[in-house]
Amino acid sequence: KNKWEKEFSAGKWDYLDSTPSERARSAIIGMYCQHFFPKGKILDVGCGLGTTTDFLIGSQKKQYLGLDISEEALKKALIKKVKFKNTDFANFKSVTKFEIIIFNEVLYYMNEADALKQALNILAKNGIVIISLYRMKNKRYDQKIWKASRKLFRSVEAIEITSTVKKQLVTWRVEVLKRK
């Protein structure tokens, strides 16, 4: 947790809220939210600066809850004027069922199998999980996570975005999943 506090405080992650290639992913996630559940309750796990909220419609912002372990990230996110909670997803308890649960570039930092099982428990009956993961050429961090997701969920739609970041070709996959 201290690592995240220092990095968000120092501005290391501010580019996520301003760089077009980073915001493109959030725009796609927002589009999926509008398409599948324009009035649904949204849980954004590891929301960071709350960038996804820039791409939600008004009724969705009222139903949005962003979680992050970094108080510094959430202090910066307050400008978005939506609801945030400072907690680790592993410790998050909810009686509310969410139509949409977002994991935007965060499953690498969690026990993905446990996080996906927990998501299943708080996902509304016909709800969706949106997962965004990146992969760099010759480095496939995402493979294990996609494999774990297939045990509980089925893919219903996906988009891949490829961009050059720091002179390296990076591809992001944003996928919409439903329970099996």
Residue range 77-125, pLDDT digits in tens: 888 889 999 999 999 999 999 999 999 999 999 999 999 999 999 999 9
* Domain total of the chain: 1
CB-based contact 32:157 (threshold 8 Å): yes
Q: Write out the two tokens for 33.
A: 């939210």
State residue 1's pLDDT score. 62
CB-based contact 14:49 (threshold 8 Å): yes
CATH code of the domain in which 97 resides: 3.40.50.150
User: Rounded distance, CA 40 to CA 27, Å?
Assistant: 17
User: Does the model's pTM come out above 0.85?
Assistant: yes
Q: Write out the two tokens for 32.
A: 């999926």
Residue numbers of the domain that contains 44: 2-179
User: Rounded distance, CA 101 to CA 99, Å?
Assistant: 7
